[in-house]
Each structure stands twice: as structure tokens, then as C-alpha cells.
Structure 1
Amino acid sequence: MDTQTSSLKDNPERRKKWMLIASGIFILLLIGYGIYWFIDLRNNVSTDDAYVSGIQAPVIAQTSGKVTKVNVTNTNLVKAGDILIVLDDTDANLAYQQAKDSLANTVRQTQALYIDSAEYLAKIKSAKISLLQAQQDYNRRLSLGRKDDISIEELQHAKQTMEIAQLQVEISMQQYNANQALVNGVNLDQQPAVKQAADNVRQAWIALQRTKIRSPITGYVARSNVNVGSQVDSSSQLMVIVPTEPVWVDANFKETQLQNIRIGQSVTVTSDLYGDDITYTGQVVGINMGTGSAFSLLPAQNATGNWIKVVQRLPVRIELDQQQVSQYPLRIGLSMNVTINTKDSSGKILATSPRTTPFYVSEALILNLNDIDKEINNIILSNTYQDSLEQ
């Protein structure tokens, strides 16, 4: 090294040559970086103020009761519809049985309307027969009265008997019509009183089913805060279920970086969890309508007191490639590094059409009423006397 240094000092031409070479290399690198910046980097905006977001499905009791069993805890995988928590169902069972007994009693009482209809028809028939006899008696006495063979008083009694028989026919018909208004030409199971009692049975059955608290979606248990013996109600959030998909990234860009960001632009994302070796691809799907400070619990009041300007950040939503997420799962809240390529500026700043499909759907908490409907039909049939209805 001393020899080479001494040689350069002793040889100004050689030293000048090496200085020119070094300067040329530096200039070429600078030009190359400038070209790279002009072609690529100038179209990129980046931030490390980005975090993974996803669905957090709360598990909430739909009825009140005391917890008798907790089947899962934090980090456990659960499937949609799995029973997570069981409540004491003593009261719910009793209410369900009482509703079934009430339905059976209502069916028997309502059935009397159909029996009364048959009875009123029989009364009408009997009253018409009595009316016919009274008319015949009156006509015979009227002929005899013209011959003075009977007294006027007897003829008057025969006329009154006929008029009473006529009134009995009308009364019987009114009673039948009034009862028919209650029957209204519908089957027993469609009577309002029976339908209301059946609805009460369904409601009691639903309350009984809700003593078993189920998972709304498939995912992992988080933030569990329920224990055996706890008293819960419909305002109690017991735990959260977090699915692995879908997840997205909320990247908080400075307002000075948003000028060229558009929906549909391509994005590259790396996580602190996996490092730079794993790169996710995605695209911009939306830009939030307000800054974090505007939506905070106590938003800033910039019109009062001393004011200091602070550059605000606006969340930009990034949708990731779900196949990559499946291969390298992410967790809500993880830090991410986001770079958006803003070269393609043909997209919109805001969405111009509403979403046409649901963002996420789960039918795990929708109860199937087929079983209880069969039970209700059995109660109605077992308390119905078909012979009396056929009359």
C-alpha cells in the first residue's frame, strides 16, 4: 500500500487518471440513479405508517343468563356455528314448555268455534221447521176463523206463535253469521289466536336456542373476557372472532403525498413480521373521507386558541392478493411498509358507483325454523278433534 501510494504521489499523471476514472464512475452512477428515479422512483410514494386491518366479529349474548360453560379461549380456531358459550337454560326451557301448553289450550278453545257453527246450523234447521209448523197452524186457524169456528183470541195466539218462530229463525241465523265471522272460512291453524300462540312458541324456542352462543364466522378467538359464573346480557361483548381473510392494509399517507394517488393503482407491501424477503402485491381500493384527527373522539378545534399547522394523514385502503395472504397469513395491527406506483393516473379519486355485492356474509346465526314448525304442527294436530270439524 505504501509503495502504491508513493507511486501515485510520484506520478501526477497516473493520479489524475484515477481521479478521472473515479469521477466518471460517480457521474455514471448519478446519471443511472437519475434515470431510474425519472422512470420509476418519481412515480412511487411510500409510507411505513401502515397497519393490517381486518374483520373483528364480536360475540354478543342475545339473551341474558349465567354462563355455565366456556368452550374456547384466545387463539383457538373455531368454525362458523360452533358453540362457544353455554348459558343456564332453566328459565328458557320453562318458558318454552309453557308456550307449548298455551298453544295446545288455544287450539282446543278455538276449535269450539267450528263446533258452534255446526250447532248453529242445527238450530237454524230446527227453527225453520218450527216456523213451518207455526205457519201451517196459523193458516188452518185462519180458515176456521173465517167460519167463526174458533175464537179471535185463539187465532191471535196462532199468529203470535208464527211470528215468534220467525224471530227464532232470524236469531239463529244471526248467531251463525256472528260465529262464521270468527271462523272466517279459514282452517284451524290459520286462526289469529292459534297463529299468535304458535308465534309465542317460536319465540320461546328461539330464546332457548340462544342460550347456546355460537360463532358468527370461521376464525380465531381473541379478546375473550368471559368466565363460568358470569352474568351476561345482550349488551355484553364476550369475545371477538378474527378470520384470516379478508385482511387489508390501511396506509396513512401525508396529505402532501395524495396528489397522484388513484383507485386501482398497483401497490407493493412488505411486513415487519416477514421482512423484505416476502413482498405482497395489491391495489388501491379507496381513500378515506376524513383524517384520523377529524374522526377522533375529541376532534381538534383549530378555530380556537393558538394554532400550529400539522401535516395530516389520510388512510388509503390497500387490498392485498388473497393467495399471498393465505400463504403468509397476517394479523390485525401488524406494521407494514407500503409503496404505491402512481404512474397510472387514469383511476378515480373517489368511487363513482356503489358496491353491488355484500362485503362479507355469514348465515351461521340464522336459525332454521323447520324443526320448531314441525313441532307446532304436531301440537295442533294432537289437540284437534277431526270428527267435530267434519261436522
Structure 2
Amino acid sequence: MKLASLVRLAITAVVVVLAILIGHALWKHYMYSPWTRDGRVRAEVVRIAPDVAGLVTLVNVRDNQTVKKGDLLFVIDRARYLNAVAQAEANLAAAEAAARAAGASINAASAGANQTKANYDMLAAQSDRRQKLINNVISVEDRANAQAAANAARAAWQQSQASTKQAGAGQQQALAAVTQAQVELAAAQLNLDRTEVRAPVDGYVTNLDIRVGDYASTGTPRLALIDSHSYWIYGYFEETKLPTLRVGDKVDIRLLAGGARLTGTVESIARGITDADNPTGTDLLSDVNPTFNWVRLAQRVPVRVKIDTDHMPQGTVLAAGMTATLIVHPSQVR
């Protein structure tokens, strides 16, 4: 009877010790092991907005459709922008004609300047010869007339030089007008090209909010495009588990939707979260909460996990907003 009591006591003690050990292991696993059930699938979302305004004449996609980079999404009415291109081309042609006319004016002014220079040289030399004659070979009046003719020729030459410079300035102004017309034509052509809104990345059309006949305003998003190559997971880990996490650690990903298990890598750890209990006041001073909760819950810090898409099974459906469980396998080398 005494032996049986000892056996029962020993069994009870063993069960109690095992329960304590198991409870302690579960507590450590729950509190300190690097895992979380609060994982959210995220993706880069491109908000597609037209760069020009006008009536929508064509919608080439459906909601939730898969598109490739460069695929046509929708088209803005092109008539107004075609007219703008035609007007810019006409302005450029006119500016180029004006520049050619300015070039011709320079050539004419240069030829006139050369002619007046030759005439001045001739009259100046003639006047110089007559001034050097002696013994009253010619009269004083003839000498004065020769000097006056040379001075007039010199003034005409200087005026031709000024006209040449003025023609050069006119040509520079005409060339600047050509450059301006070229820029305006490029802008008009760019606006025409932007009437065709195309996908900037591979992805999935989401929340399509545009129909033929709608008026699309510049800069107003009309659909969302989820980049199919940008999926990642944000795991919100308790602060007590952060000491065991390192960038590069391997991660097991278990989607709540089930299916194949994915793998990933810790890509980065957030370095700050909002302090909800002590926000900043309107005067930029700390608004300290006068009460304090003795039972404090561990804060959750976002950890970005890169999904290993190279080994992701075919047919796996990922949608931004899905939930997942993340189990991190800490590296042995620290």
C-alpha cells in the first residue's frame, strides 16, 4: 500500500513537472520565438491618371485584367491635340522661313557693306593722291571735294556695317523663334502621344472607374494598376521578438487562404512607429497621458519580408491585403 502511494506520488510529480516544462516552452515560444500571425500581403499600386484632359473615346481593358508594360489602357479624344500639332508645325515652318529671310538679309547687308567699303577705299585713295599734289596742279576746291567724297563714302560704309549687325541680330531673333517653335511642336506632339494611356508596369487592373464618354481630367486617377512583380509581406512582430530577427533570415510564409507554403527573406525592419498614447500637441509639445496602464501590451513593429517568387508554385494567387503567418528561422551566425 505504501509502495502504491509512492508510485502515484511519483507519477503525479512527473506529470506536474512535464506540464510545467511544456507550459514554459509554450510560453517562450509564444512570447519570444520570431513568429507572428499578423502578416499582410502588400504590393506597389500605380494610380493611373491621364496627363491630358478630354473625352474618353476607348477603354481597352476590363476590371482585374492582366496587362503587360506598354499595353494600351484607354484613349483620350485626339482631335484637339492633332490640331495643336498641326498648328505647331505651321508655326515652325513660318519661323524657319523667317530665319531664312533673316539669313538672306545678312547676305545682302554684307554685300552692301563690301561694296561701300570698296567705294570708300577708292575715294579715300583718290583724295589722298590729290592732297599730295603740289604746284597748284589742281584747285583747292577739287581737293576739298575729293576729301568730302571720301568722308561721305566712309559714313556710308559705317552705316552698312551697322545694317549688317542689325541683320545679324534679326537672324539671332529668328533662330530663337525657330527653337521656341520646335519646343512648342515637341510639347504638342507629347500631348498627342499622352492621349494614349499605357501601362507603365506589368500588373493587374483594379478598381477600373472609367467608361467611354467620360471626361478625364488631368491628374485625376481613374484606375489602379497593381505591379505583379512587387508583392511583399509586412509582418507585424511584437517588440519582444525583435532581438532574434536579422536582415537576411529565412521566413516560412503560410497564407490564411491555405495552399502551398511560400518562403521568403527578411528584407528590412522598421525603425519607428507612432506613439498613440503620447501624441504631439498643437503647440508642438508632448501631450503626455496622465494615466498609465500597469498591464502593457508589446508594441508591434513592421518587418518587411521579400517573397521568394522564383520558387513560388504555379497558380499561386496573391492579392494585396491577404493575411499570413510568418515563421522566421534565425541565422546561426550572429
TM-score range (shorter-chain normalised) is: 0.7 to 0.9
Change (3 A) 1:33 1:311: closer
Q: Which residue of 2 aligns with 1:281?
A: 263
Spell out the pairing of 1:284-295 with structure 2 (5 A cutoff).
284-291=266-273
AA matched with 2:228: T
Spell out the pairing of 1:125-274 with structure 2 (5 A cutoff).
125-139=114-128, 141-142=130-131, 146-148=134-136, 150-180=138-168, 191-274=175-258
SS in 2 for 1:258: helix
Counterpart Cα distance in 2 of 1:219 and 1:326: 18
SS in 2 for 1:69: strand
Change (3 A) 1:324 1:334: farther
**203-212 vs 235-244, which moves further:** 235-244
CA contact (8 A) 1:106 1:197 kept: yes
- Give the alignment's TM-score, normalised by structure 2: 0.81
Q: Which residue of 2 aligns with 1:371?
A: none
Gaps of 5+ in 2: none
CA contact (8 A) 2:70 2:200 kept: yes
Counterpart Cα distance in 1 of 2:162 and 2:176: 22
- Give the alignment's TM-score, normalised by structure 1: 0.71
Counterpart Cα distance in 2 of 1:171 and 1:115: 18
Change (3 A) 1:49 1:200: same
Q: 2:323 aligns with which of 326, 335, 338?
A: 335
AA matched with 1:53: R
Q: Which residue of 2 aligns with 1:77?
A: 66
Deviation of the 1:174 alpha carbon = 3.4
Deviations 1:250-291 (A, max 9, x none): 01122233232222222111001125xx22222211111222
Counterpart Cα distance in 2 of 1:305 and 1:234: 49
CA contact (8 A) 1:68 1:86 kept: yes
1:303 and 2:288 are equivalent in the alignment = yes
SS in 2 for 1:317: strand
SS in 1 for 2:160: helix
CA contact (8 A) 2:249 2:330 kept: yes
AA matched with 1:241: L
Gaps of 5+ in 1: 1-11, 347-391
Change (3 A) 1:310 1:34: closer
Deviations 1:269-324 (A, max 9, x none): 1001125xx22222211111222666xx999x761464545542111111121123
Counterpart Cα distance in 1 of 2:211 and 2:272: 39
Counterpart Cα distance in 1 of 2:139 and 2:146: 11
Q: Which residue of 2 aligns with 1:87?
A: 76
Counterpart Cα distance in 2 of 1:345 and 1:304: 42
Counterpart Cα distance in 2 of 1:261 and 1:133: 97
Counterpart Cα distance in 2 of 1:163 and 1:109: 36
Counterpart Cα distance in 2 of 1:293 and 1:274: 34
Q: Which residue of 2 aligns with 1:107?
A: 96
SS in 2 for 1:113: helix
Deviation of the 1:244 alpha carbon = 2.8
Spell out the pairing of 1:22-101 with structure 2 (5 A cutoff).
44-101=33-90
CA contact (8 A) 1:43 1:343 kept: no
Deviations 1:199-243 (A, max 9, x none): 111110001111111111111100111222222223311111113
CA contact (8 A) 2:38 2:236 kept: yes
Counterpart Cα distance in 2 of 1:248 and 1:18: 56
CA contact (8 A) 1:52 1:330 kept: yes
SS in 2 for 1:57: strand
SS in 1 for 2:312: helix
Q: Which residue of 2 aligns with 1:358?
A: none
Deviation of the 1:91 alpha carbon = 1.8
CA contact (8 A) 1:265 1:344 kept: no
